[in-house]
Amino acid sequence: MAKWYKLIPILFFLLLITATGTAFAQEKKPQPKTRILFLLDASGSMLAKWENSDRMAIAKNLLAHLVDSLDRYDNLEVALRVYGHQFGRERNDCKDTKLEVPFGENNSEVIKKKLQSLIPRGNTPITYSLEQAANDFPSDKARNVVILITDGLESCGGDPCAMSLALQRKRIFLRPFVIGIGIEPQYEQQLSCIGQYFNAADVKTFETVLSEIVTQALSETTVSVELLDEQNRPRETGVNMTFVNALTGEAEYNYVHYLDAQGKSDVLDVDALIPYHLVVNTLPAVVERNVSIQPGKHNVIQVKAPQGELYLRQDGPSPYGQLQAIVRPAGSEKTLHVQSFGNRHKYLTGKYDLEVLSMPRIMLYGVEVKQSETNAVTIPPPGQLTIPSQIQGFGSVYELLEGGGQRWLLNLPEDNSKMTLALQPGKYKIVYRMKSAQSSKFTFVQDFTIRSGATTTVKIFNR
């Protein structure tokens, strides 16, 4: 019978595989609690007649029915804040706002009872109410949603749009929903900048909008990203994609794009109440700003991202060690990537300028990357310059240019001139004066030629 200790390596291997698979899988995150704060306008104008009743009576009735229906949802809490209901307009109170029902589960009866007692009276302090609403949400992690129901504009001189934006950036709440009751078209812009705006032109529309907003807030939203080639076919894949919060700049989701065996992009879960920029991390990156995502639906986002491959190689062994090249967009001085020779790397289709970090540096302009093709860029292997002299002095190596010019490459070490240096094939010059030489006229100057794979020896003499 096999001894138990002989099974330990097998058990360890199985545990390692399991642990590794768990560590590398980006598991679906559990959905956080959703909290919905109803911010209700109870200013004096809400007493205005609306169809067969008044605005406040209809708002209270429909909101009561909606809150009652929310009891069936799990992991949901609701609250009610009201403004303009504590003092009359003659007092002109711009801090007339109150959290009437705090967040809690199954508190629909409490909210309905509070709605019945509300009487419209005062001003419309939307900005101050939004500011105070920041304290209504508990500090634990949750999806905080505000639904503002109003029939008027800010009446206390505040800037509700700036306040809403500031609180969204602080992640106090997601982009609010705003329902305008009887708002004239020319004033809608002053409310739509607070959040996603809905115009309730009549009672039926108001009812529909309320239901639609809750559906958007609570329903699952999915997206598929299609990375298109130059023929607008969804063929590109294997690229990291980042959904960036358009307000905060934070990365909300990171995925590596995947295509299944049928060439279809997989389905991803996102929170549709966050505004996104989609960054497709090709080289260079493709940024789709303010992507349109419909809440509660499946969305397909198409991004043009055709790619080809650049392969850098050098014939024969390289005395440089790991030779690299700076890759820039054609005509640009901005470094896009530093690619090592011997490696392949994908880029968006187009033209690039390469600066090979050889000695001397090699400039290659307008190197083209074509879709689904590999462009192999080859440079000749260098030769070597050997200086056997062990002397102290001052000197430099220059590259000789066509037409008789010269270009400085490097200075030789002052303490010891003995060295071996890899240089690309070409013509060069060494200029050197020993420390012991008492005059510039004793400068040593010699031209030499470097050939691929060959060694050229230059001996420095006192002159």
pLDDT tens track for 7-62: 445 444 444 444 444 444 445 556 789 999 999 999 999 999 999 999 999 999 99
Domain ranges of the chain: 33-218, 220-304, 307-379, 383-457
Selection from 135, 119, 144, 107 nearest residue 41 by Cα: 119
Strands 76-83 and 53-54, by their bridges, are unpaired
284 prior amide bond cis, ω within 30: yes
Contact 354/367 with Cβ under 8 angstroms? Answer: yes
pLDDT tens track for 103-156: 988 899 999 999 999 999 999 999 999 999 999 999 998 999 999 999 999 999
Superfamily of chain region 307-379: Carboxypeptidase-like, regulatory domain (2.60.40.1120)
Reported CATH class of domain 220-304: mainly beta
For the record, the structure tokens of 307 come out as 């790619």
Q: At what angle do helices 55-69 and 203-218 cross, to 10 degrees?
A: 30
Distance, CA of 407 to CA of 221 (rounded, Å): 61
Q: Is the dihedral of CA 107, 108, 114, 120 positive or negative?
A: positive
What are residue 198's DSSP bridge partners? 179
Neighbours of 359 (CB within 10 A): 18
**Exposure letters 85-120 (e unless 16+ CB within 10 A, then b):** bbeeeeeebbebbebbbebeeebbebbbebbeebeb
Give the predicted TM-score (pTM) of the model. Answer: 0.81
Question: What's the CATH architecture for 383-457?
Answer: Sandwich (2.60)
Distance, CA of 283 to CA of 345 (rounded, Å): 9
**Which pLDDT score, from 0 to 100, does residue 118 have?**
95
CATH of domain 33-218: 3.40.50.410
Residue 228 one-letter amino acid: L
Residues 6+ apart with CB under 8 A from 261: none
Long-range contacts of 441-449 (CB under 8 A, 24+ apart): 444/395, 447/400, 448/385
Neighbours of 179 (CB within 10 A): 23
Please indicate whether the domains covering 33-218 and 383-457 agree at the CATH topology level: no
Q: How would residue 71 be classed by pLDDT, with cut points 50, 70 and 90?
A: confident
pLDDT tens track for 334-386: 999 999 999 999 999 999 999 999 999 999 999 999 999 999 999 988 999 99
Mean per-residue pLDDT over the chain, rounded: 91
Selected residue with higher pLDDT from 394 and 10: 394
Q: Could you tell me the CA-to-CA distances from 214 to 42, 184, 208 in Å, in that order?
A: 21, 25, 10
pLDDT tens track for 226-243: 999 999 999 999 999 999
Residues 6+ apart with CB under 8 A from 139: none
**Which pLDDT score, from 0 to 100, does residue 22 have?**
45
Q: Is the dihedral of CA 330, 334, 340, 344 positive or negative?
A: negative
pLDDT tens track for 241-264: 999 999 999 999 999 999 999 999
CA angle 356, 359, 364 (to 5 degrees): 30
Residues 6+ apart with CB under 8 A from 71: 106, 108
SS3 letters across 308-330: EEEEEEECCCCCCCCCEEEEEEC
Distance, CA of 382 to CA of 450 (rounded, Å): 8
For the record, the structure tokens of 381 come out as 């292997």
Q: Is the dihedral of CA 182, 186, 187, 192 positive or negative?
A: positive
Distance, CA of 252 to CA of 247 (rounded, Å): 11
